[in-house]
Amino acid sequence: MSAKEFHELEMFLENRNLLFCYHGFLSQSILTPLTKTLKAKIKAEDKPTQATNKVLYVFVELAQNIIRYSAVSDDIELNEEKCSKGSLAIGYYDGAFFCISGNVVTNRQAQHLLNQFESLRDKNSDELKFMFKQRLKDGPLEDSQGASLGLIEMARRSSKPIFYDFIDISDENKFFTLKITI
Amino acid sequence: MRIEIPSTDATPYVLIDFANSVVEFAGESFPEDAAMFYEPLLSKIKEHLESNRDLNLAVNFKLSYFNSSSNKFFYKLFNMFEDASEFHKIGVNWYHLEEDDMSKEAGEAFSEEVEHIPFSFYTLESL
């Protein structure tokens, strides 16, 4: 990649209102200091505390989902930590933060995710709160009913319906993106 | 029994001090493997509660942030306290930032799940 191309990439990202964009290998060891810096950076931007806390929550949840579930992971020695490939971005547009994640998933994972998004569709905050309490009681999501605690919690912090997309990249895999607007 | 674990950037300060009747979690909680962090602590607390009677316990939650996997362990913890309430007196003090509705709601969700553990809610300017 030439300097010109790298600059073009930077301009591409800046023009899309991104404050931060990360692509590549991701682990808890990267996430922890990143979150600490992000917290300080967002606080310095002087946005409302509620919004700041929600952004951080969603950012960490998205990142840990990539680490845990990305279909592309590396076998490295890192204190038994998982290292996976994905992309994460945070932006600010029209008075609101947004977080985007992207990673490869298997077709099976994609179907499982679609089922979860379906169960979250058109739910208001009271209904989501109910789903949250129910998921706590019922334990981890085993079958195709309902959504995982993490997804429900992100939906609760989202000011708009969750935006998601799956792009076919091979016979076995899709590229999954998720956008949460705070 | 006394266990004190200093906080890290991704795990909370933990104090389990039965002699002084207090269990406390403070800071942030987003470990990669919440089970690895919380299971041993839950086991130790459970063991102590089962082998003693008539203890008084104040459980302080001062967490500015916790991820969904930590949430699951707190739920387990509260259910454990509920079971133990037959033989012990346990109360929870839930602290949250004034503007943090989600943390308050998380505490309220836990309090609605237990019948014999009173929850008291407090707001703080910073955590």
Encode pLDDT of A134-176 as tens digits.
Answer: 888 887 777 657 899 999 999 999 999 999 999 999 999 999 9
Tokens of A86: 């994905």
User: What integer best gives the mean pLDDT of chain B?
Assistant: 94
Mutate to test the interface with A, among B11, B28, B32 (most CBs of A within 10 A): B32
Report the residue of chain B nearest A154, measured CA to CA. Answer: B68
pLDDT band at B127 (very low <50, low <70, confident <90, very high): confident
Contact B48, B14 (CB under 8 A): no
Phi, psi of A79 (to 5 degrees): 50, 40
Percent of chain A scored above 70 by pLDDT? 99
pLDDT in the model for residue A43: 84
Which chain B residues touch A49 with a CB distance below 8 Å?
97, 99-100
Residue-wise pLDDT for A53-88, tens only, equals: 899 999 999 999 999 999 999 888 888 889 999 999
pLDDT band at A52 (very low <50, low <70, confident <90, very high): confident
Per-residue pLDDT, averaged over B48-77, amounts to 94
Contact A67, A82 (CB under 8 A): yes
Q: How far is A133 from chain B (nearest CA, A)?
A: 6
Nearest CB to A36: which of B9, B68, B75? B9
Looking at B51-97, list the stretches that DSSP marks H as alpha helix, in order from N- to C-terminal side: 68-84
pLDDT in the model for residue A143: 61
Q: Does A149 touch chain B (CB under 8 A)?
A: yes
Tokens of B60: 């302080």
Contact B123, B97 (CB under 8 A): yes
To the question of pTM greater than 0.90 for the whole model, the response is yes
